[in-house]
Amino acid sequence: MSLTCVAKLSELREGRGRVVSVGDKTIALFRRGDRVHAIDNTCPHVNGPLGEGDLEGDWVACPWHKWRFDITTGLCERHPSVSVACYPVAIDGDEISLEL
């Protein structure tokens, strides 16, 4: 496991996702106040882009068919056996790093 700097905190808008690519992973970042959460960008239903979904509280709705995922746990609201990967986030000043 190592920390990889992926974005600046000042670049993230509250309530909007930001998609970053790290190696072969595509990850959606979401800012909630001074917290940042990172989940896989790819919806496990049929690969919708979660980073383009609307955020409501800690829930992001996939823009394609509206399955909702908890950005803090990756769990799907409608199908509890389904989830997306979550990645630990470290914030140092304006720098956001992921533990991958």
In the complex, the residues that contact ligand FES under the rule CB under 6 A are 43, 45-46, 48, 62, 64-65, 67
Q: Looking at beta carbons only, is 31 or 68 nearer to ligand FES?
A: 68
Q: Looking at beta carbons only, is 63 or 100 nearer to ligand FES?
A: 63
Q: What is the DSSP letter of 13?
A: P
What is the closest distance, in whole angstroms, from the C-beta atom of residue 64 to ligand FES in the complex?
4
What is the closest distance, in whole angstroms, from the C-beta atom of residue 70 to ligand FES in the complex?
14
Q: What 3-state class would DSSP assign to 51? A: helix
What is the closest distance, in whole angstroms, from the C-beta atom of residue 73 to ligand FES in the complex?
17
Distance CA 97, CA 100 (A): 9
Strand 25-32 versus strand 68-70 pairing type? unpaired
Q: Looking at beta carbons only, is 6 or 53 nearer to ligand FES?
A: 53
**62, 67, 66: which is closest to 28 by C-alpha?**
62
Q: Looking at beta carbons only, is 62 or 86 nearer to ligand FES?
A: 62
Q: What 3-state class would DSSP assign to 52? A: helix
